[in-house]
């Protein structure tokens, strides 16, 4: 099985694009100092509401966790290739989460009137995450109609 063979599968292609976009997005967040912005936002929300369910992170834990997540995402390509209901649900949910992540950066920038850390790569992440979600729903529809949407 070659990389070319894998990428002929539209689900694998969508997933690989999203993982590559996430890699670019993490790099964007690193070079634009996203973590201090995020941690301060969490502190401010906790102060304002008394409780806010998001954690704060040390730099090492944050970046290490993101790198590990990206590596696991790329390692999951054979599972995406094989397909099936479970992996389709997982990739669709992650696509929805990445869509929300990208929209958070974009809409947050509009709301605050300034470009937030991670803004620049959010357009790419949004587009590829939506592609993963669309592929997921196409697969669900094809599955119920008895067709194979994985190819």
- Write out pLDDT tens, residues 101-128: 999 999 999 999 999 999 999 999 999 9
Interacting residues of 36 by C-beta distance below 8 A, sequence separation 6+: none
> Full-prediction pTM beyond 0.85?
yes
| pLDDT above 60 (res 147) | no
Nearest CA among 87, 88, 119 for reference residue 102? 119
DSSP-derived 3-state class of residue 114: coil
Asked if 107 and 141 touch (Cβ cutoff 8 Å), the reply is no
């Amino acid at each position: 099985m070659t990389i070319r063979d894998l990428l002929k599968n539209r689900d694998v292609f969508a997933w690989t694009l999203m993982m590559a976009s996430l890699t670019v997005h993490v790099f964007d967040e690193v070079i634009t100092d996203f973590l201090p912005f995020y941690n301060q936002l969490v502190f401010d929300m906790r102060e304002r509401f008394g409780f806010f369910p998001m954690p704060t992170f040390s730099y090492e834990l944050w970046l290490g966790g993101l790198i590990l997540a990206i590596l696991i995402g790329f390692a999951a390509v054979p599972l995406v290739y094989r397909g099936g209901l479970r992996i389709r649900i997982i990739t669709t949910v992650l696509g929805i989460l990445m869509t929300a992540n990208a929209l958070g950066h974009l809409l947050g920038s509009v709301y605050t009137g300034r470009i937030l850390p991670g803004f620049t790569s959010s357009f790419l992440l949004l587009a590829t995450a939506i592609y993963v979600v669309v592929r997921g729903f196409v697969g669900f529809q094809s599955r119920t109609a008895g067709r194979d949407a994985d190819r």
